[in-house]
Amino acid sequence: MNAPGGDRPARDPGAADAPGAALAVFLALFVLLWTVLPLLVGRVPPDDNLEQLGWSAAFHWGYAKHPPLPTWELIAASHVLPKGLPLTYALGALQVGAMLAFAWLLARDTLGAARARVAILAITCILFYSHRMHFLNHNTVMLSAYAASAWFAWRAVATPRAAWWIALGAAWGVGMLAKYQMVVGIAASLGFIATSDARPWRERLRGVLAAGAVAAVVFAPHAIWVVGDRFSTLGYATSWVEASRGPLERLLDVLRFAGEQLGRLAPALVALGVLSWLARRQQRRAPVGARLASPIHVLPVAGAGDACARRALAWHAWGPLGFMTLLSMAIGLDLGMPWGTAFLWMLPIWIVARPGLAPLAALSPAASIGTIVVIQALLVATFR
């Protein structure tokens, strides 16, 4: 596959079926619905939101348990809008909206516009991003930072522009200001960068060093505060390590964590299954000449082709979950259920990239959006 010049994505055959007003309206209504629904049904406010409201009484470079970014966002927003639970719900939704935007950019670059639409719609069915959209905590703020870093890492490798490495470093630093767990996301990006051959290794090394320097500058003020505060936040982070647990206990904890993540991913898997069935039925009914000629539909960017795109998606979908599993088995890290919040959105993109799901590219926007609307209605019915 020949790559176009520059770093602009090639126009793909699915561009005529690109998401337009219908998708934009659906996503806007999706975010609005799950932001206000907890207020309408009188759901008990999340403890994390209440904690952020308490911390936001004063600006600090760090807080009792975590880095400061979520609290900073609330402080900044409260200068414009009234402080209270609705504002925390809106800020939680903002993180999901930002994640969907970066997920769209990454999926569009690597899958083409048509399949990217399906992947984004499936992401909206993950329970972390519907039932818990109103949560404002360190997992949700890291969500948007990790999504940005995944797209920046892809672009940094796929294009010759130094600006993408700088953006990647900024996303790493911002993510670390949200939660130290961002290290597993950084490790995933480094794994992708190290194994990619789209750029000479010296160029990639220079890029990583530049990104690391930017991240260090962004994170430095908080790091200085941590030292002055006698490593209080690191003490909280290490409290999740239970080194005394044996191998069987650690394995059972990993299996529990995997089951919890699968439960929250389940509606998205159902959505993809239904959409795949609709696409295949549509393909069988289409004239032979109108069927997709190739099972692969990936947009190359400045020399980064199919293999590089698949590697980017695989590393960012499975890398963080894999690194957390290794940490749990190696040091007894007690994996918390919300720790999948920042990373599960990548799995639908990785699934849609499977060659066998190429017919999804031909699925009409009406069929795909209509299916997701039905699933969202079922999710609303289960929200208490």
What is the rounded distance in angstroms from the CA atom of residue 206 to the CA atom of residue 376?
45
Window from 50-64, 183-197, 228-242, 251-265 with minimum mean pLDDT = 228-242
Residue 80: inside a domain, yes or no? yes
pLDDT of residue 7: 47
> What is the average per-residue pLDDT within 148-164?
95
> According to the model, what pLDDT value does residue 251 have?
96
pLDDT digits (tens, 9 = 90+) for 168-178: 999 999 999 99
For residues 19 and 368, the answer to whether their CB atoms sit within 8 Å is no
> What is the extent of the structural domain holding 256?
28-144+222-286+294-381
Average pLDDT over residues 161-190: 97
Q: Once rounded to an integer, what is the mean pLDDT over residues 119-123? A: 97
Q: Is the pLDDT of residue 254 over 60?
A: yes
Q: Give me 158's structure tokens.
A: 């796929």
Cβ–Cβ < 8 Å for 62, 237: no
Residues 6 or more apart whose Cβ sits within 8 Å of residue 54: none
More confident residue, 373 or 305: 373
Mean pLDDT over 121-141 rounds to: 97
What the block records as the tokens of 1 is 């596959």
Q: Specify the number of domains making up the chain.
A: 1
In a domain, 329, yes or no: yes
Task: With respect to residue 19, please indicate whether it lies within any of the assigned structural domains.
Answer: no
Residue 8 inside a domain? The answer is: no
> Residue 286: what pLDDT?
65
* Residue 43 within any structural domain of the chain: yes
Q: In this structure, is residue 114 part of a structural domain?
A: yes
- pLDDT band of 241, cuts 50, 70, 90: confident
* 187 in any annotated domain: no
pLDDT confidence of residue 117 = 94
pLDDT, the chain, mean: 90
Q: Which of the four pLDDT bands, split at 50, 70 and 90, describes residue 56?
A: very high
CA angle 164, 338, 50 (to 5 degrees): 100
Q: What share of the chain is helix, strand, coil (3-state, %, to 5)?
A: 70, 0, 25
The average pLDDT across 194-220 equals: 95
Question: Which tens digit of pLDDT belongs to each residue from 326-361?
Answer: 999 999 999 999 999 999 999 999 999 998 898 999
DSSP, residue by residue, 270-335: HHHHHHHHHHHHHHHHS-GGGS-S-S-----BTTB-HHHHHHHHHHHHHHHHHHHHHHHHHH-B--
Question: CA–CA separation, 216 vs 331, rounded Å?
Answer: 26
In the three-class reduction of DSSP (H, G, I as helix; E, B as strand; rest coil), residue 45 is classed as: coil
Q: What percent of the chain has a predicted confidence (pLDDT) above 70?
A: 90
Q: Is the pLDDT of residue 248 over 70?
A: yes
Q: What is the pLDDT of residues 277-313, one digit of tens each?
A: 999 888 777 665 544 443 444 444 544 568 889 999 9
Spatial distance between the Cα atoms of 155 and 145, rounded to a whole number of angstroms:
15
Residue 28 has pLDDT above 50, yes or no: yes
- Identify any residues that bridge with 333 across adjacent strands, giving them in sequence order: 241
Is 162 a domain residue? Answer: no
Please state, as a whole number, how many other Cβ atoms lie within 10 Å of the Cβ of residue 20: 10
Q: Is the predicted pLDDT of residue 160 greater than 70, yes or no?
A: yes
| pLDDT in the model for residue 322 | 97
Least confident of 63-72, 101-110, 196-205, 245-254: 196-205
Q: Over 80: is that where the pLDDT of 123 sits?
A: yes
pLDDT for the residue numbered 8 = 43
Side chain identity at 344, as an amino acid letter?
L
